Chains A and B, each alone.
Chain A
Amino acid sequence: MVTIVERRMIVPNVHLLTVAAPEVAESARPGNFIILRPDEQGERIPLTIADWDTAAGTVSSIFVQVGASTAKLARLKAGDTIPSYAGPLGNETEIANFGTVLLIGGCYGLGSLYPIARALTAAGNKVYAMIEARSSYLLYWQERLAAVVERLIVVTRDGSRGYKGHVTRLSEILALEKISPDRVIAHGCTFQMMTVAKETKPLGIKTIVSMNPIMIDGTGMCGVCRLTVAGQTKFACVDGPEFDGHEVDWEEFFARREGYSAEENEPLHRSGCASHF
């Protein structure tokens, strides 16, 4: 059982969740995730770690409210307890001096890229962060990210801030910003990561993506998080979650993520709680 230190909607539908979990905080590394259960009937939900504070013993994640389980998380408040919080899980992001690294984030990825940016900068890289959202009001943690990178590049689909459009403009933006990355790391929604991988492939830039499949135990037992990478079956929880984006079978991955989309919303419809709508 762990206690919620903070749960706050930081932009519409996107929440920051900070819990007191000193042992997890002490072992957390960039790119790790945790698994929690919001209540005794709840699913095991994997969330990427966005930050931690070893001294305070706290761990933070950013989550997007999408289905019934994340709706439960979104109702938590400081002082509440949740029955399970296990981690850190998965392999940490490879941190070394690669030269120039471009981080690309959207959605919860703006949060989970933050510790990666910090570590890569500390390792001597020139780090750039490119963050994308539908509109400027959906961006968060810009100051935090800006403090640990060389330059923050903003892309909004409506053009309300920074470049207008989507990561499909990647090569053009790289030219305008005069950046030639040795490595790209993308965190965020599956579609965005796939798009990034498609854009960087012809440019020949090694691209790491953080895969977010359905998981249950998250400890290398059940096998539901399997995906195909370079023609081989891999398990995101123990072999990943980060993989070479140019080697991932995206079509299969999308299909597997959709495996329970109907059921994910089912409890919402049955809860009888009008406050969701």
Chain B
Amino acid sequence: MSKVDLVRRPMPKQEPAERVRNFDEVALGYPAELAREEAARCLTCKKPGCVDGCPVGIDIPGFLGSVAAGDFGAAIRTVKQTNALPAVCGRVCPQEEQCERNCVLGKKGDPLAIGRLERFVADREAQEGPGQPPPLPPPNGRAIAVVGSGPAGITVAADLALRGYAVTMFEALHEAGGVLTYGIPEFRLPKAIVRREVDYVRSLGVELRLDFVVGKTRTIERLQESFDAIFVGAGAGLPWFLEIPGENLNGVYSANEYLTRCNLMRGFRFPAFDTPLKRSARVAVFGGGNVAMDSARTALRLGADEVHIVYRRSKAELPARAEEAENAEEEGVIFDYLTLPVRLIGERGWLTGIECRRMELGEPDASGRRRPVEIPGSEFVMAMDASVCAIGNSPNPLIPMTTPGLEVGKRGNIVADDDTGRTSRERVWAGGDVVTGAATVISAMGAGRRAARSIHEALSGQAAP
């Protein structure tokens, strides 16, 4: 056996000074040679920990072997056996906490860049034009309604279409993709890629109904008259605010609003597109997750002079992926750690500044992270003309509000079984953010995969393969 290669191949990126002036994708992806070199580092472990770390159980050593051998077609077929969204997952999954964290190479060197290679094989396939959809079994005569076309819904739709079900996917907005479309910015996940993945699902025979608001256009009860099973992946709901004075001033956004204006409505191209998005000069973003990073980097690209991430804990506790925080830092986002906004200040209805208080880290709290404690008398004011609150959101309320017999938890979430996605209502399954509250793309996909298996078992009376 040749010497173990501990050094990860770097992926080309746009330079920070250039990329803050455009909305194009930051990471450029591996060229074929680098991809093969990186894949060749795989030790093909007998018990691959990476697969255990993958919420959808991709045969990772299998597809890496094909990449190393230069058989990219075989590689993407392997990935797509269990993942309907490889180009998306390769970009936005937190691989460092999942597959890559379990990679044995990581013990002495850099773990294998599994996410980058997943992205590589998906992009490679796309360059060669739409491939042949996999062979479909004959229709089994059962109809499935999937509510929401985000990561959970797309996964359920693809899995069940591949098992011969007639699937209709309902989307409330005018474009499919859910958070992939309205939430994650173009520079991190180009919308052309989302469209490509949605087209793939449609190529499996899934019917897509846009502008159809389940719960309002049709209730779940009503849909059950014509569908054998329903999967609810309705996603995120109302944004949380800090509940401090001044949050209804103009210039104060939820991240959902800010990002939706930009991504779904193309506000960054106003006035070519009609939905406006203010070009603010000084922007404060509250929160430390990926959505906060996305908002801050969007503000920079819209031409802000200064963008701050205001986060009440320290750098070590940032929930964002390290890569995204690094990208933000490289681009010039200022991180105000251990800082708590306490009041938003306005004049004539418009935000003009934010009052903050300094924090220090105390004892660890229930989450195991050290609890931030306020330092009395440490208040200070920063001038700002926009703020974006990125501290999370509740699950979408429309279906819980309009579906009798559907058990709903304290946070407004639909209660569903972890292993199967079954809800308290007969023939209704649910998964993704509408069950868990804001989480990751891949965890929603994992929930979709489990629900699809459970639906198939329930309707066919047999265990899924």
Contact = CB atoms under 8 A, between A and B. Distances in A.
A238 interface: yes
A36 to B, nearest CB: 9
Interface in B208-260: 210-213, 216-218, 235-239, 241, 247-250, 253-254, 256-257, 260
Most B C-beta atoms less than 10 A away, residue of A69, A220, A226, A258: A220
Contacts of B173: 217, 219
Interface in B415-459: none
A264 B270 CA distance: 11
A217 B264 CA distance: 10
A43 B274 contact: yes
Contacts of A256: 248, 250, 349
B260 A24 contact: no
For the complex of A and B, list the 7 residue pairs with the smallest distance between their C-beta atoms, beginning with the closest. Answer: A255-B349, A263-B276, A86-B211, A223-B254, A222-B257, A84-B174, A223-B239
Contacts of B349: 252, 255-256, 258
A226 B239 CA distance: 10
A159 B393 CA distance: 51
B291 interface: no
A84 B274 CA distance: 15
Contacts of B413: none
B277 to A, nearest CB: 9
Q: How large is the interface on B (under 10, 10 to 19, 20 to 34, 35 or more residues)?
A: 35 or more
A40 to B, nearest CB: 9
B157 interface: no
Q: How large is the interface on A (under 10, 10 to 19, 20 to 34, 35 or more residues)?
A: 35 or more
Most B C-beta atoms less than 10 A away, residue of A41, A42, A223, A260: A223
Contacts of A86: 172, 174, 211-213, 217
Given A37-B174, A44-B174, A89-B213, 12 more contacts: A27-B216, A27-B218, A41-B273, A84-B174, A86-B213, A222-B256, A224-B253, A228-B248, A233-B247, A255-B349, A258-B250, A260-B276
A91 B372 CA distance: 41
A228 B248 CA distance: 8
Nearest to B261: A216
Most A C-beta atoms less than 10 A away, residue of B260, B266, B348: B260
Given A27-B216, A216-B265, A219-B396, A238 B401 contact: yes
A192 B119 CA distance: 56
A135 B253 CA distance: 40
Most A C-beta atoms less than 10 A away, residue of B211, B248, B265, B266: B211
Interface string B33-69: 0000000000000000000000000000000000000
A68 B261 CA distance: 17
A124 interface: no
A216 B257 contact: yes
A44 B261 CA distance: 10
B272 interface: yes
B257 A68 contact: no
Contacts of B397: 220, 238
A237 to B, nearest CB: 9
A41 B268 CA distance: 12
B205 to A, nearest CB: 21
A87 B213 contact: yes
B274 A238 contact: no
9 contacts: A24-B217, A37-B174, A68-B274, A86-B212, A216-B257, A220-B396, A224-B254, A255-B250, A267-B271
A100 B275 CA distance: 42
A69 B265 CA distance: 13
Interface string B178-205: 0000100000000000000000000000
A6 B250 CA distance: 37
A178 interface: no
Interface string B352-374: 00000000000000000000000
B265 A44 contact: yes
Contacts of A44: 174, 265, 275
Interface string A80-117: 00011111110000000000000000000000000000
A43 B265 contact: yes
A17 B253 CA distance: 32
Contact of A23 (B212, B250, B264, B265): B212
Nearest to B214: A219
Contacts of B236: 221
A84 B250 CA distance: 28
Given A86-B212, A233-B248, A266-B276, A23 B396 contact: no
A84 B212 CA distance: 10
